[in-house]
Amino acid sequence: MPDRRQRLPLRLLSAFGTLFLLGGTGLWLLARAEDLPRFDTLIVHYRPVLLVLLLLAFLVLSLLVIRRQLTRPLNELVHYVRSQQTGNPEAPPRHLYRRRDDIGYLAREIANLLHALHDKNQQLHAQTLNDPLTGLGNRRLLEQRLEIALPLSRRRMTPLSALMIDVDHFKQYNDHYGHPAGDECLREIANVLRDTFRRETDIVVRLGGEEFLVVLLDNQLDEATRLAEGMRSMLQAVGIPHAWSPTAKVVTVSIGVATAPPGTPIDLESLLACADEALYACKAAGRNCTIGRHVGAGIKESAEMTS
């Protein structure tokens, strides 16, 4: 697309050319005042004063032209850039955006760059909160979401449940099928988690390796355990082959569920520790099962082990 903008130096040159023409005409009239019959003798007498006034007028008009065409637009552009340091980028002032000179071109380019930078920052922010392999959230997202969820749960006096999920005998799967197949297996498990926990308030993250975590707001232990068991059964029904698993011929998971009843003072570490204890109970029971417990209490419910 051809560049049709008017160059700023040309605009300034045109403005100053007009001023020089007017100033030169005034100087010529003052210099020839004695030869021009229509000029009063008073003008001739005060010609030096008029010459000074003419020069001052020329300087003032020159400064006004520079301010209007260059200084003020640049100051507005600087103010616009400074105002875009936080929040979503906005378009520059319309009179700057619609200018057909270098300043208008610069305003449009800065606006485009700010939008591109904002989009890139959003992508980088998403990458810092998401697990690159599965697309689920990571530990940082968990902590960020729980900064809101924990106080909300306390204020509303609602239960809070955590599901600690571990893939059974995943090391043997990686050793036998290879790491690319292991990565694909983890992605498939992530898809099952997305299909099971669909509420906007559900927090689903990958903690690392073959461990996943789900935090459920406003779910009692029975409901959280039922959802966990549904996810475990769904994954087993998918039937990802695992010939080297002593538990089953397909990939399975063990899930420890921990629930903090309404009004229970709880923090993230205590909730995860309780869910981790329930998970170890699953492994002690032979894996491929779901066990739930209340925070600070013993085992509440255990799903029957499925082989």
Backbone angles phi, psi at 180, to 5 degrees: -60, -40
The SS3 of residue 171 is: helix
H helix and E strand count, the chain = 11, 6
From the candidates 143, 210, 223, 229, give the one annotated as an active-site residue: 210
Residue 89: both structure tokens together = 């980028």
210 assigned to active site:
yes
- Residue 292's alpha-carbon distances to 144, 206, 222, in angstroms, are 25, 20, 8
Q: What CA–CA distance (Å, rounded) separates 44 from 140? A: 84
State which H helix or E strand residue 103 sits in: helix 102-129
Helix (H, G, I), strand (E, B) or coil at 220: coil
Q: Point out the residues that are catalytic.
A: 210
